Amino acid sequence: MTKLKAQGREPAMHDCITVAHKLPHFDVTTDPEFLPCADGSIMVRTAGTVTLPVPSACPRCSSMMRLHAYETVHIRDIPIFNAQHLLEVRYQRHRCSCCGAEVSQDIPFKTDGHFITDRYARLVSRYLGYGMTNKTVHRLLGLNVHLVKALDKGRLEGLYGKAPKTPSRYIAIDEISIHSHHRYATVVIDLETGHVLFCEAGKRKQQVQHFIQYVGKQWLSKVVAVSMDMNAQYDSAFKEAAPHIQIVYDPFHLIKLYGDSVITKLRRRLQQEALEREDRATYEELKGGRFILLSNRRTLEAQDSMARENNRDLSENYERKGLQIPAGRRRQRTGKLSHLDRLMGVNKGLNVAYVLLEQFKLAYAVRDPLVLESGMHQWCHIARQSKIPELLSFAATVENHLQGIVNHAYHPISSGKLEGTNNLAKVIKRNAYGFVDDEYFFLKLMAASRRPYYKPRSPRFLH
């Protein structure tokens, strides 16, 4: 209205709208003012007083309290007509004449810990619950980013701050990288729903102990099996606190371990030996064979045929017509399969290690526990006959962890779903340009593993 006055116009009937503010115990004392802001926007300011009675007896000595002073506080409310809405709230401060204790009048529509109204906090929570990012909410409503973060954290704590109630039958535990410089967190997920149940910085035994304390014995009693890699820390914590839970070693982790501790180690050793006897050709062949040795034959075959198809397409459509190859396309290397065959010819040991990996995968896929167990013994026997040191030590690892491997036949679970959680973590970090607050990051991860709770509904009038 001041804006209208400034334009030399008195507010007329068709310029006004009267709406009840619906704030409990708030008495508006002056007309809303329209104030121009530095960024060109308009802010509406509404002044008023709180009408909630103040207790007359002192909380400390029960003597009479007397009005001591009036205070004013600014509280943000839901924007009106696309303008920021600021409430100028006057409240009373009472003082005890006997002991000097002071009590302020309660502002019933203010949210705890922040200078915004309850209904505004609920609106922000709803937007965040729909899946809007903090930055979008900050830009949309013009609220401070730290305030949006604090409200979001409070919202997520309310949703996921408590231990899960729905029982889980199968869970998986693994470490995920949360920061650079090798900082990790332990994550536990429900394998059937994919929901993140627990997150904590660190990857030691105590993280499992904290998880067990957090969910409680009752919840834990419903868990049948847990999938994990051969991590002695996680393993012993589960065995001690929840011996009824079957430990299953995740097949993907085992295959990765084989790749790292047998194939890669062996290749490096052979590479070194070739270098020592100055066999440059073998050295180069081995050096370039890193990824080829870690892929299976069928994958290499498929990659070769795709590369050939790509090259044929490029030559028919561009090169033969004298046209330039478009950006983003290039000729691809073929002959990965023949590279593998050459590598197999370089050294018998490499050939054995490669073939034994395929055998190991087949042995692991068996669904009969007795057959799986005898298959593993057989596999270890063959591995030992090779006399290759890397294979000998892997066979020993397998035999030491046989129970967890055989359990896979009873409960064919894997930590595959946890890979998805790892990707979610990366997306969250990227959206927030790295996270400083670990606790908030874990809550975000828990929320991201579940669907947003938004259900579109069209308004229905009751009358």
The residues that touch Zn ion, with contacts defined as CB under 5 A, are 58, 60-61, 63, 96, 98-99, 101
Q: Which is nearer to Zn ion, 58 or 383 (CB)?
A: 58
Q: Of 16 and 61, which CB lies nearer to Zn ion in the complex structure? A: 61
| Shortest distance, position 92 Cβ to Zn ion, whole Å | 17
In angstroms, what is the minimal distance from the CB of 63 to Zn ion? 5
> Half-sphere exposure of residue 236, counting CA atoms within 13 Å on the CB side?
5
Q: How far apart are CA 179 and CA 177, in angstroms?
A: 6
- C-alpha dist (Å) from residue 381 to 218, 306, 378, 386, 392: 43, 39, 5, 9, 10
Nearer to Zn ion, 64 or 140 (CB): 64
**Ranges assigned E (strand) in 204-353:** 225-228, 246-249
In the complex, least distance from residue 69 CB atom to Zn ion, rounded to whole angstroms: 17
- Nearest to Zn ion of 61, 355 (CB atom): 61
Q: In angstroms, what is the minimal distance from the CB of 117 to Zn ion? A: 31
Min dist CB 96 to Zn ion, Å, is: 3
DSSP state of 245: S
Q: Is the separation of the CB atoms in 398 and 380 below 8 Å?
A: yes
Q: Which helix (H) or strand (E) holds 104?
A: strand 102-104
For residue 104, the minimal CB distance to Zn ion (Å) is: 15
- DSSP secondary structure, 2-65, as one string: HHHHHTT-PPPGGG--------TTEEE-S--EEEE-TTS-EEEEEEEEE-PPPPSB-TTT--BE
If the CB atoms of residues 65 and 446 are measured against Zn ion, the closer one turns out to be: 65
CB of 95 to Zn ion, least distance (A): 9
Which helix or strand (DSSP H or E) is residue 353 part of?
helix 348-364
**C-alpha neighbours within 13 Å on the C-beta side of residue 158:** 9
Smallest gap from Cβ 146 to Zn ion, in A, equals 37
Alpha helix (H) residue ranges in 365-456: 369-385, 389-400, 402-410, 416-431, 438-448
Question: 451: which DSSP letter?
Answer: -
End-to-end CA distance of the chain: 33
99 vs 355, beta carbon nearer Zn ion: 99
Nearer residue to Zn ion within complex by CB, 66 or 333: 66
CB of 98 to Zn ion, least distance (A): 5
Cβ nearer to Zn ion, comparing 62 with 400 = 62
From residue 188, alpha-carbon distances to 135, 175, 357, 400, 413 in Å are 29, 9, 29, 25, 14
Instruction: Considering the complex, state which of residue 54 and residue 245 has its C-beta at the smaller distance from Zn ion.
Output: 54
Type and span of the H or E element at 349: helix 348-364
User: Interior CA angle at 306 toward 303 and 310, to 5°?
Assistant: 135
Q: Which residue has tokens 């081995």?
A: 286
